[in-house]
Amino acid sequence: MTVTKRFVAGAVCPRCAAMDAIRMYRDEVREYRECVKCGFEDSLRLDGRPEPKEVETRVTRPAQPVETEQAQPIKFVMPAKRKDK
């Protein structure tokens, strides 16, 4: 499979702040960014599923409330014997 890496015009590396140093490429499931200056790498899922990652290159997405389960005391009732047959 040939991967075409393309520079993203105007993109600024979130790590080293170099401009026009970000290249993008993708495979079937992810889109990758990499900085040719400092080696920064990032990736995003193409199917848009949320990921605890940094925002995209230029589009700052509104912070979506990710449904994370809060740490709560869970009453863990362990049946001593599991026999429902």
Q: How many residues bind Zn ion (CB under 5 A)?
A: 8
Query: According to CB under 5 A, which residues from 47 to 76 bind Zn ion?
Result: none
Pick 29 or 56: Cβ nearer Zn ion: 56
Nearest Cα to 26, choosing from 44, 8, 10? 44
Smaller CB separation from Zn ion, 19 or 29: 19
Q: Which residues pair with 24 in a beta bridge?
A: 6, 33
**Can you tell me whether residue 27 is helix, strand or coil?**
coil
Q: Look at the block and give the residue holding tokens 């014997």.
A: 81
For residues 23 and 34, the answer to whether their CB atoms sit within 8 Å is yes
CB of 34 to Zn ion, least distance (A): 9
Residues numbered 6-45 forming contacts with Zn ion, rule: CB under 5 A: 13, 15-16, 18, 35, 37-38, 40
Residue among 41 and 51 whose Cβ is closer to Zn ion: 41
Q: Is 30 helix (H, G, I), strand (E, B) or coil?
A: strand
Length of the chain measured in residues:
85
Residues that bind Zn ion (CB under 5 A): 13, 15-16, 18, 35, 37-38, 40
